[in-house]
Amino acid sequence: MAKSQILHQFDNPDHDQKVYHLVIIITDGNCHDMEATKKILVEMSGMPFSAVIVGVGDHEDFSDMKELDADATVLRDSQGN
């Protein structure tokens, strides 16, 4: 399902339909589109979903993924949302 379809469901909910989304991010640790990724996750934060980050590789740097994890803080995009 495309991002626009997911966000359309959020803006136009069908209260008879229960929808839960699972976002899976598979990465080697480098997030080349961090701001876009954070923006999408922030936009989805008002709807029921889980984000799972799966790291692949033995000697990769996953420090970018710690920023997306945001367990200790609220994830915010570049505009402070």
Instruction: Write out pLDDT tens, residues 11-46.
Output: 666 666 677 888 888 888 777 788 888 888 888 888
- pLDDT on residue 10: 59
- DSSP 8-state assignment for residue 17: S
Mean pLDDT of 60-74: 74
Residue with tokens 């999408």: 40
- pLDDT reported for residue 2: 56
d(Cα 24, Cα 67) in Å, to the nearest integer? 16
Mean pLDDT to the nearest integer, 62-78: 75
Sequence-distant (≥ 6) Cβ neighbours of residue 76 within 8 angstroms: 38, 42
Query: Looking at the chain, how many residues does it have?
Result: 81
**What is the distance between the alpha carbons of residues 56 and 78, in angstroms, rounded to a whole number?**
27
Give the tens place of pLDDT for each residue, 38-58: 888 888 888 888 888 888 887
